[in-house]
Amino acid sequence: MTTLLVLLLLAIGVYLLAVLENWIANGRFQLTAPAYSAIALLGRESVIPRKPDLLFFEVGPVLLLIAALLAAAVIPLSPDLIIADLATGALFLNAALAYILVALIMAGWGPNGAYAMIGGWRFLGQLVAYAMLIVMPITAVAMRAESLVTTDIVFSQAGLWNIVYQPLGFALFFIAAMGLAFLPPFDLPTAKGELAGGVEAEYSGVRLAIFRLGRMVLIITLAGATATFYLGGWQGPLLPDWIWSAIKIMLVTAAMLMVGKYVPRIRETHLLAWCWKFGIPLALLNIFIVGILIVVIP
């Protein structure tokens, strides 16, 4: 029952995200546009390229969707509205998100196309950049909560949200989450201008619909993770708790999309250099500061 409810909310969130993306990218607010484009995608022919690795070609988009859904399973919308309240929730989130990379490599290698393959391997390089910046801020969050359980992490922010307690960690996690969801300016694997769609290039029809759906779920999940770890999850005055979760998730999503609108696409070498030379030392500094803060102000 809870699972179905969460999945329903997730579906609504995905639809709203599609509307929002269209609004921010094209400046048109159309509530029905995503439905029409989804129907159009489902109706179109799903072309299979010549000499594909058919197994990878089919599995790639599905694995993307499954990995994003698994990651969404540990995001609490309210104390009870969570699919799996695991004892190692924060670690499980990382484990599920690691398979996004595998899905993109499979989807990039499968269709036997140059642009798709470059896109897939590019995402591997991007992983080297963002992975540490996902894990290390979560470490600091878990340190404050003294637990890996996601609901406990939200409860630990009752007095003070983590965005105030560890703003550095929030900034790093936000950037890394955008890199993981390959949102602009980090949309290296699917770069529209230079790779003609990259990983998405050879997909069409139903498979492209699944791929896009998986990516939308991924964005919502990462926004949910940001809200859970840094914005106090479901906590807020007056309104019921799941509405607060929804508001926070949509705000984070909107912020992610807005950033991408005004920043030019980053070069892969620059991304790697900045993440390793500035990001990782800052993340370590964040852990250090939080460690001191926990002793000083519990």
Partner 1 sequence: MITGQAIFIGFFGMAAVWFGIVVFRTFSMVRSAIALLFSQTALGAMFLTMQAEFLGVLQIMMMATEMSIMAIFMVMFMMDPGGMGKMDMTHQKRLSLIAGFVAFVGAVAVAVFIDWGPVTETIADTAQQTEALGLELLGRSMLIFETAGVTILTAMIAATAVAIKPVPIKIKTKDEK
Residues in the site for partner 1, rule: CB under 8 A? 51, 53, 55-56, 86-88, 91-92, 94-95, 98-99, 101-102, 105-106, 109, 112, 121, 124, 127, 131, 147-149
Q: Where are the alpha helices (DSSP H) in 146-240?
A: 150-155, 162-165, 167-180, 192-195, 205-230
Q: Pick between residue 103 and residue 220 the one whose CB is nearest to partner 1.
A: 103
Q: For residue 116, what are its two tokens?
A: 């798709």
What's at 53, amino acid-wise? D
Q: Pick between residue 69 and residue 98 the one whose CB is nearest to partner 1.
A: 98
How far is residue 208 from each of residues 51, 58, 65, 102, 163, measured CA to CA in Å? 19, 11, 12, 17, 36
DSSP 8-state class, residue 243: H
Torsion sign (Cα): 15, 18, 24, 29: negative
Q: Pick between residue 106 and residue 219 the one whose CB is nearest to partner 1.
A: 106
Report d(CA 71, CA 297) in Å as an integer.
32
Q: Pick between residue 147 and residue 228 the one whose CB is nearest to partner 1.
A: 147
The CB-of-95 to partner 1 minimum distance in angstroms stands at 4
- Rg over CA atoms, the chain: 19
- The residue assigned the tokens 């991007």 is 126
- The residue assigned the tokens 């799941």 is 242
Closest Cα partner for 139 from 271, 293, 297, 288?
288
The CB-of-239 to partner 1 minimum distance in angstroms stands at 31
The CB-of-107 to partner 1 minimum distance in angstroms stands at 12
Q: Pick between residue 32 and residue 269 the one whose CB is nearest to partner 1.
A: 269
Q: Pick between residue 11 and residue 135 the one whose CB is nearest to partner 1.
A: 135
Element holding 140 (H helix, E strand): helix 114-145
* Four-CA torsion 143, 147, 150, 153, nearest 10 degrees: -50
Cβ-based neighbour number of residue 194 at 10 Å = 11
Report d(CA 280, CA 268) in Å as an integer.
17
Q: Pick between residue 149 and residue 188 the one whose CB is nearest to partner 1.
A: 149
The CB-of-33 to partner 1 minimum distance in angstroms stands at 35
Q: Pick between residue 98 and residue 168 the one whose CB is nearest to partner 1.
A: 98
The CB-of-105 to partner 1 minimum distance in angstroms stands at 6
The CB-of-139 to partner 1 minimum distance in angstroms stands at 12
The CB-of-87 to partner 1 minimum distance in angstroms stands at 4
The CB-of-91 to partner 1 minimum distance in angstroms stands at 5
